[in-house]
Structure 1
Amino acid sequence: MIEIERKFLVKDDSFKKEAFAKNHIAQGYLCSLAERSVRIRIKGDKGFITVKGISDDAGMSRFEWEKEIPVAEAESLLHLCEKGMIDKMRFEVKSGPHVFEVDEFYGDNEGLIVAEIELHSETEPFEKPQWLGEEVTGDTRYYNASLNITPFKKW
């Protein structure tokens, strides 16, 4: 499956009062190469394994495969992951017919808030909430796999 998404910085925390859901996420990487990453994630009370391919030139599209796994298995696999851990709270915010996933990072990425929107095509229009800031789609520093290797606090 091809995932198409755009990524933005967030100007302030006003998105929180618009959120209809929020979940704590802990994730690590079994592999964090640019060509492919294999992620283990615990989101709320569910576990996941995700494989992502390399992004296209614009940084908007890439292969993604995800499967839900038991939380106990995800916890075990997190112990095998590369050094570092992504710790964040994900807020889901509706904007027109779309949903923004807004991640507020903790730990070594404290102070970073990034919003993502998944689209059906790279040219699909969408409503931009007032709290949406600079677009960082394609800037690999903001990929979670990159943040795991070079955290925001070290920039």
Structure 2
Amino acid sequence: MMAVEIERKYLVNSDQFKALSHKATRITQGYLNSDKARTVRVRIMGNQGFLTIKGLSDQAGLSRFEWEKEISVSEAQALLKLCESGVIDKTRYLVEFQQQVFEVDEFYGDNQGLIVAELELATEQQAVSKPDWLGDEVTGDNRYYNSTLMKIPYSQWA
């Protein structure tokens, strides 16, 4: 599927979201290419595999080209072996709040302690209703991109 991805990204300031979550899925992902102009991601999400290509973000970090194709888990496992070092391991929680669905990622391993919420939008101007557990916005801050977290994990931040 080809599309323009528009999303806002926020830090999460409490684990209240877990009680409100209607789904939790373990995700393992790696990058065949982590160049910010064209990231190529391999992901195993539950019992599905995906290959995703993302283009360069716009200046605000709000939108970018995205292409994704479902592949078999065995194909994804084979491709993960070819990825750059630094696999991302996380659980994604889906949390509905005022007709919006937040994807909240709780990271493990070298990114343990980091919890980030993303909200996909229909337009860049779409208003966002913020639940109490949502913290500061970090949209456009490259440190929070998964392709950066695999190279400079949260545990190494000063």
Give the shorter-chain TM-score range.
Answer: over 0.9
Q: Is 1:128 paired with 2:130?
A: yes
Instruction: State which of 72, 82, 98 in structure 2 corresponds to 1:70.
Output: 72
User: What is the match of residue 38 of structure 1?
Assistant: 40
**What amino acid sits opposite 1:77 in the alignment?**
L
Q: In the alignment, which residue of structure 1 is the partner of 2:98?
A: 96
From 57, 60, 63, the counterpart of 1:58: 60
SS of residue in 2 equivalent to 1:92? strand
Cα RMSD of the aligned pairs, angstroms, is 0.5
- Structure 1, unpaired ranges of 5+: none
What TM-score results when the alignment is normalised by the length of structure 1? Answer: 0.99
Aligned counterparts, 1:7-46, within 5 A = 7-46=9-48
Aligned length: 155
Q: What residue ranges of structure 2 are gaps of 5+ in the alignment?
A: none
CA contact (8 A) 1:10 1:114 kept: yes
* Whole-Å separation in 1 of the counterparts to 2:49 and 2:153: 23
Query: How far did 1:97 drift?
Result: 1.6
Q: Kindly indicate whether the alpha-carbon contact (under 8 Å) linking 1:96 and 1:126 is maintained by their aligned counterparts in 2.
A: no
Offset from partner CA, 1:34-78 (integer Å, 9 cap, x none): 111000000000000000000000000000011110000000000
- Give the partner amino acid of 1:85: V
SS state of the match for residue 122, structure 2? coil
Query: Which 4+ residue blocks in structure 1 deviate beyond 4 angstroms?
Result: none
Q: What is the aligned partner in structure 1 of residue 8 from structure 2?
A: 6
**Matches of 1:98 and 1:64 in 2, distance apart?**
21
Question: Given residue 34 of structure 1, which amino acid in structure 2 is its aligned partner?
Answer: K
Deviation at 1:96, TM superposition (A): 1.4
TM-score, length basis structure 2 = 0.97
